[in-house]
Amino acid sequence: MAHLWFEGALLEEGWASRVRIQILDGVIASIESEVSPQPADARHGVALPGLCNVHSHGFQRGMAGLSERRGRPDDDFWSWREVMYRFLDRLTPDDIAAITAQAYVEMLESGFTRVGEFHYLHNDVDGRAYADPAETAGAIVAAAEASGIGLTLLPVFYAHGDFGGAAPAPGQRRFLSDRDSFARLVEASRAKLPGDALLGIAPHSLRAVTPGELHAILPLAEGGPIHIHAAEQMKEVEACIAWSGARPVEWLLVNAQVDARWCLIHSTHLTDRECDRLAASGAVAGLCPVTEANLGDGIFPTIRYLEAGGRIGMGTDSNILIDAPGELRALEYSQRLAHRRRALLADEAVPSVGRSLFDATLAGGGRALGATGGLLAGAPADIVALDAQHPALAGADGDKLLDAWIFAARHGAVESVWRSGRKCVSGGRHVAAEAVARRYRATVAALA
């Protein structure tokens, strides 16, 4: 049993000061507020609940910064995808584990305590299945264990190269399954899950899955989350209309019984009607504003969607720059740039943009990854402590502290992070940061 004492904390019921949290077997056993620390208590700044990162492709961290060169005048998502396919061509399971561990360390250091790994790199370099179909899923599990981050593993079903069951391209050979091999992959992945790791499934996109396959694989989720990429790019929307007469999100809402178990990643290009219907479905929109800006995807209609009661989660997707507050900031700034106004993702009830976005992300992210969160008795002890002495947080408390962290702090504002009661970050650094970074550097150097 351990006791932590905080100057302040954002509890389930709101802000509290002088807070003492008791942790037993990785779970918050009790919370007291307005109390003094006991002599043996570890003393910290301001406690926030850890956030869920709803969308990651861990291996892509290894190519971050390497595709920021102009290759041709019409560089876009699709030409970036070619660079990504070349990068993953040679990755071994050990490479995937080393790169993903680095990504997960950075997630914890920035304030994420659980990750949804949208895992599609299943096959050997020649496209043949490994003897163990969950070989690379094991690499993801190893990365989660090396870093201590909570894992919701989302094995991806990927069978086709485009809408209508088109043949896959050679660059997609490492992703491919059929219905039977995918069922084996899901089972083998489930058998590897450690501790409180969770399993969902992820039909990659309507480009990669036929309607018959989609309906056949959904029961494999066994009540866990279902994630799918949708409407990230206008070319994809236009191809979906040509194939089916409907836009991707529209098609899913009509044909796939989208409900609270679903997380539609990106959902960038929506009509007003799709936006309202997605909000009413109970599904989570998995937004990845930093990656969406990096890839030139477009801007999600966040104001309308939130006004319609829609739920959002945040993902770091390509892991080009891993930063929990940075994703929230990028979402608000995308709306400011589009609408030429300020402080848009808030309302009269909660005027703080930081608090509004944090609350929405905490609730939606937990739903999308099948996890419970928040600082309350019975929840996992997933806690992020901000350094109350950090200059960017000077003079701020309550909701203003969240505004300052999200909009005005550079580095070092996160002082400590506990995941399932285990201290993973101390003094702003992950406890295994050096060892993980050493392995990462060697891996990336060998791939260059």
311: left (phi over 0), alpha (psi -120 to 50) or beta: beta
Give me the 260-299 binding string for Zn ion, x by CB under 5 A, dash otherwise: ----------------------------------------
Give the residue nearest to Zn ion (CB): 317
Tally DSSP H helices, then E strands, for the chain. 14, 17
Report the residue number, 28 or 228, with the smaller CB distance to Zn ion. 228
Please, are residues 371 and 361 in contact by the beta-carbon 8 Å criterion? no
Query: Is 317 a known active-site residue?
Result: yes
Site for Zn ion in 198-237 (CB under 5 A): none
Residue number with CB closer to Zn ion (265 or 345) = 265
Q: Which of the residues 122, 204, 227, 317 is marked catalytic? A: 317
Report CA-CA distances (Å) from 364 to 74, 272, 431. Answer: 35, 21, 29
Helix (H) or strand (E) holding 106: helix 93-110
Contact of 354 with 405, CB cutoff 8 Å: yes
* Max Cα–Cα distance, the chain, nearest Å: 68
Residue type, 280: A
266: annotated active-site residue: yes
By CB under 5 A, the residues from 298 to 327 that bind Zn ion are: 317
**Full strand arrangement of the beta sheet holding 27-32:** 27-32, 14-24, 2-11, 42-49, 383-386, 414-419, 422-426, 429-430
Least distance from Zn ion to the Cβ atom of residue 312, Å = 16
The crossing angle, in degrees rounded to 10, of helices 324-339 and 399-408 is 80
Q: Which residue lies nearer to Zn ion by CB, 317 or 327?
A: 317
In this structure, which amino acid lies at residue 235? Answer: K
- Tell me if 276 sits within 8 A of 245, measured CB to CB: no
CB 369, CB 198: distance < 8 Å: yes
Task: Give least dist CB 407 to Zn ion, A.
Answer: 26
Output 135 or 317, the one with its CB closest to Zn ion.
Answer: 317
Whole-number minimum distance, CB 260 to Zn ion, in Å? Answer: 21
Q: To which H or E segment does residue 187 belong?
A: helix 179-191
- Using alpha carbons, select from 301, 318, 141 the residue that is nearest to residue 229: 318
Residue placing its CB nearer to Zn ion in the complex, 7 or 317: 317
| CB atoms near residue 146 (< 10 Å) | 19
**CB 244 → Zn ion: shortest distance, Å?**
22
From the list 266, 269, 390, 430, the catalytic residue is 266
Please say which residue, 263 or 404, places its beta carbon nearer to Zn ion: 263
- Both tokens of 281, joined, read 């479905």
- Minimum Å gap between C-beta 81 and Zn ion is 11
Q: Whose Cβ is closer to Zn ion: residue 274's or residue 317's?
A: 317
- Using CB under 5 A, count the residues that bind Zn ion: 1
Report in angstroms how near the CB of residue 136 gets to Zn ion at its nearest.
16
Kindly state the smallest distance separating residue 342's Cβ from Zn ion, in Å.
30
Phi and psi at residue 86, in whole multiples of 5°?
-65, -35
Which residues lie near Zn ion (CB under 5 A)?
317
Q: Residues with catalytic annotation?
A: 266, 317
